[in-house]
Amino acid sequence: MWKNLGPVTALYPTPVTVIGMIDEYEKANWINIAHVGVLGENCLMISVHKSHFSNEIIKDKNYVSVNMITENILEAADFVGIVSGKNTDKSNVFDYTIGIKNVPMINQSPVIMECEVIDNYETKEHNQYILKIKHTHIKAEVLDEKGNINYDIFKPILFEMPTKSYYKLGDKVGKCWDIGTKFSK
């Protein structure tokens, strides 16, 4: 038997990312964003509450980095989601490198996408930024022999909203477009 919870978003967990940008003073600013989505093969969406200071920078600069988070940098990633760049200089939270699109990329992050902001869908409380991926940087140690991300090694951190908890990616349970070939009713 199901219980109706009303209009609750039940698509969690989602990957935890830290969005990096360069502010008007040429300093790195970071914000933890776990409301992310895939829009086709080369676009992403990040949802940023309108109260966040980072909105001003994103709208002004139009380029951001999307840094995937692993357990070794989770504490710092959570911190940049707690404090505001309006009151706190977050430029020294992570060691970083400036990417091709002049965005800060977290050195400890194994997967980073440099993105251009191509649209913004505003709702009452959030900006939904549509990002076109321009460059993807992946550390060799998380790649398999075919050059694909090996999630058994990478283990990105996931966010679950109802309990506001972080999780590590779990075990692989099957291969896509293979496991279903064994189905019979």
Tell me if the domain spanning 14-182 has CATH number 2.30.110.10.
yes
Is residue 138 within 8 Å of 146, Cβ to Cβ?
no
Q: What is the pLDDT of residues 112-129, one digit of tens each?
A: 999 999 999 999 999 999
Gap between the Cα atoms of 67 and 29, Å rounded: 13
Mean pLDDT of the region 142-166: 94
pLDDT confidence bin for 75, thresholds 50/70/90 = very high
Domain residues of the chain, as ranges? 14-182
Long-range contacts from 88-97, C-beta under 8 angstroms, 24+ separation: 89/27, 90/28, 90/29, 90/30, 91/27, 91/28, 91/29, 93/30, 94/18, 94/28, 94/30, 96/20, 96/28
Is residue 149 pLDDT above 90, yes or no? Answer: yes
Gap between the Cα atoms of 106 and 157, Å rounded: 15
Is residue 10 pLDDT above 90, yes or no? Answer: no
pLDDT for the residue 9? 86
Is residue 173 pLDDT above 90, yes or no? Answer: no
The mean-pLDDT minimum among 7-16, 29-38, 126-135 falls in 7-16
Residue 116, strand partner residues = 63, 132
Is residue 48 within 8 Å of 126, Cβ to Cβ?
yes
Provide the whole-model pTM: 0.94
pLDDT for the residue 69? 97
